[in-house]
Structure 1
Amino acid sequence: MKKVIATILSIVVLGVALCGADYVLKDRTDHGVKQGIAMYEQPKNSVDVLMLGSSHVHYGINTAKLWEEYGISAFDFSSAEQPLWISYYYLKEFCKNQKPKVVVLDFFTPAAFQEDHKYTYTHLADSLNGFRFGLNKMKMMWVSFDGREEIWDKYFPGFAGYHDRYDALDAEDFEDLKYDYENFKGFTPYFDMTPTSVPRINEDTVLAPSDKSVEYLQKIVDFTTASGIELYLTVVPYHVNAELVTDKIQAEDLRYNWLAQYVQQLNDAGNSHVFFDYTVLHNWDIGIDFESGTDTYDSSHLNYYGATKFAHYLGAHLRYIYGADVIADHRGDPYYASWDTNAEELRTVVEANGFEWR
């Protein structure tokens, strides 16, 4: 009996030690890991609008502005270069504790990332390390790793990906341990200003995304339909086709043209819960200033001012399409006080970086 008890205690101590080391050593990046950690800390059934997609989302959709202007309780559950198969499992995980009324899905990654993309496996840690272990995560890894053994070895178990960060730990890592992630809503403002040219769109040619992207887009459509969730597809403004991969233009606009046709076919077939706002065809409605750099962090991302402009536009458009009956104004409700705190924290960050709170 003593040996059994000793064995059990040893296993428990080892488990606690590994969990503690895992929690401390985890690299809490702003590009998905913090978003994942914070997702689990949100008050139950408090998020009405869920944002999914790549870094375009957490750079470009200002949740504090959506709250201050419209009382919309939104959350950016995004991660660097997030493909649709990860968006799908993010959505399923999110809906374990939340009942979003609307899912806003940015389509940049499936438009830009095809089978030969240079970043296909580069940013997986940002998507995986904030996501709790369970069946959803195992399925997400299975579809993300494409059977490549070296990627499994790198990310499974999760501790394998960051067990060697001992030398890199600093005071900020330990400060993060004390932060109340309920107050973080995913938006991560950036403050550089980089002029770029106004995007030009080829509206005449259509090119489908990868078969895998099309498959998981349909899974997202089916899941939101079955769950009674409105699906709002969009493109957070950026300079389209700025990147090169394997010495060719990524041709994202051609895949946005495909998406417009795909959604139209769904609507014509009676599925009215899917909507596509092809924003980069009417950037003037949003007011993004590309050429001066006032609103752009780089050619592919908005800065704080751009994210604020886009949130102002997006909030008004969501309210116009779905109405206050679907997306309520929760300002003044103590259950949603963490959105007030989030706005206060962001104001401090914005002003500390020499920008105006807008």
Structure 2
Amino acid sequence: MPAWIKYTISVFSICTVLFLGLNKAGELARPQDFDSDVWTNYYAEEDNTINTVLIGSSSMYRYWIPTQAYEEQGYTSMLIGTAAQDIRLAPYLMEEAAKTQDLDLFVVEVRSIIIRGDVTKIKDEHYNYRMEVMTSGMRPSSTKFEMIQKYYRADEKSKFELMFPILKYHDNLLTFDRQVLIDRLNQGTDEFKTGRQRAKITKIKEPVFESDGQLHLSDETLGYIDDIEAKAEELGVKVLLVATPYYPSRGQASKQLQLDEYIASKGYDYLNMNNVLDELNLDYSTDFYNSKHVNIAGAKKVTTYLAQYIEDNYGLQSKLTDEQKQSWTDACDAWADEECSLMAEWEKYKKENE
């Protein structure tokens, strides 16, 4: 073998080791925030074992319990859900998710268009923080690079640091408790398969959706839905758009109706769960923790309905071997204990509110 080829191989090998080392160090240094764990939890799942990925903000992850859906319908799911998630990022998250899993379906929450309004008006510091946390556990890739370049509101130096989190968060390696680093080094799959519910109860009014006669959503905003559909088609994966139950302001109700009309005109697969409230059997005095999110009791009802809807319309089939099923059995057992604790807390809130 010529010397120049040996040299090239050696340089490439060294660069690869350095790249992998930087990536691993970045994972260890990422912020201590559940949202920073979303991607590391996802990557920890064995390749090609997940049927569907649910993408969105708290309007998605507070409503869906992956272990419950698995027990009731037999298919696997994971949440790529982060607080205040910008819907414009969904196509990039879909692309990244499809790299390690042979997915049958994306479920994308669209209510963030209604609740967050014009994302360009959100203060840079608030917008950037949520994006920093969400991407900190994401592997370096062209997908991540393009997303950061397009939407991260910072100079090129800051964008480069976000691409390789060790550059941004290296001080954490010195300040984190030693046990945090050990736990991250030994991190396996998420104990609850990304379930994250709350027990608190807030009584709310039954929602009313009426138009105020105005068009609040711009063509650009509605185009975000088209971007999601285009990415799903490019990836060859079906996509279901979902709006979860909430109590809207008058303006939000009008936006919701405008969004519903647009999606219907396009013929996209869409489930607005605010239109099936009787079937959901939600109790507005006990099943929400604020006007925009359900608690554990509400999440159980929503999960049962949505899991059945997905099964009826997409017929997902389990990809798991007997050995792989054990991971989900363990997660279901762990969640059973967590749910018991949450429901006991929920019962206390219920008695206090009576």
Please state whether the residue corresponding to 1:186 is helix, strand or coil.
coil
The alignment partner of 1:52 has SS state of: strand
Greater Cα offset, 67-76 or 187-196: 187-196
Structure 1 unmatched ranges of 5 or more: 242-248, 268-273
Cα deviations across residues 274-329 of structure 1 (Å, max 9, x unaligned)? 31112123322212222x2x32233322222221111001011112223x3xx125
Residues 156, 133 of structure 1: alpha-carbon distance in 2 compared, 3 angstrom cutoff = closer
1:118-129 → structure 2 map (5 Å cutoff)? 119-129=126-136
2:260 maps to 1:283: no
Aligned twin of 1:23: 27
Following TM superposition, where does structure 1 have runs of at least 4 consecutive aligned residues deviating by more than 6 angstroms? 8-17
Deviates more, 1:88-97 or 1:159-168: 159-168
Structure 2 CA distance, aligned partners of 1:130 and 1:263?
32
Give the corresponding residue for 1:50.
53
Aligned positions of 1:5-84 closer than 5 A: 19=23, 21-31=25-35, 33-84=36-87
TM-score normalised by structure 1 residue count: 0.79
Deviates more, 1:188-197 or 1:166-175: 166-175
Call closer, same or farther: CA 1:93–1:212 in 2, change over 3 Å. Answer: farther
2:257 matched to 1:265? Answer: no
Partner Cα separation in structure 2 for residue 117 and residue 160 of structure 1:
26
Counting only pairs closer than 5 Å after superposition, residues 166-315 of structure 1 correspond to structure 2 as: 166-169=174-177, 171-172=179-180, 174-181=182-189, 184-203=192-211, 205=213, 207=215, 209=217, 212-241=220-249, 251-267=251-267, 274-290=268-284, 292=285, 294-315=286-307
SS of 2:78's partner is strand
Q: Secondary structure at the match of 1:37?
A: helix
Change (3 A) 1:234 1:203: farther
Q: 1:147 to 1:305 in 2, by over 3 A?
A: same
Select between 308-317 and 150-159 the one with higher mean Cα deviation.
150-159
Q: Which residue identity is paired with 1:345?
A: A
When structure 1 is superposed on structure 2, of 280-289 and 180-189 the one drifting more is: 180-189
CA–CA distance in structure 2, aligned partners of residues 122 and 182 of structure 1 = 23
Residue 141 of structure 1 and its aligned partner are, at CA, apart by: 0.7
Match of 2:4 in 1: none
How far 1:183 moved relative to its partner?
5.4
Aligned residues: percent identity? 19
* Gap change, CA 1:190 and 1:160, over 3 Å in 2: farther
Shift of 1:203: 4.1
Aligned 8 A contact 2:198 2:342 in 1: no
Partner of 1:271: none
Q: Partner of 2:47: helix, strand, or coil?
A: coil
Consecutive unaligned residues in structure 2, runs of 5 or more: 1-6, 347-354
2:350 aligns to what? none
Distance 1:134 1:308, change over 3 A: same
CA distance in 2, matches of 1:297, 1:36: 26
Residue 43 of structure 2 aligns with an amino acid whose one-letter code is Y
Corresponding residue to 2:337 among 338, 348, 354: 348
- TM-score between both structures, scaled by the size of structure 2: 0.80
Deviation at 1:51, TM superposition (A): 0.4
d(CA) in 1 for partners of 2:178 and 2:199?
Answer: 24
| 8 A contact 2:280–2:302 mirrored in 1 | yes
| 8 A contact 2:51–2:318 mirrored in 1 | no
Aligned equivalent of 2:325, options 323, 336, 346: 336
CA shift for structure 1 position 356: 8.7
Change (3 A) 1:167 1:72: same
Total equivalences in the alignment: 332
- The Cα RMSD (Å) is 3.3
Shift of 1:218: 1.4
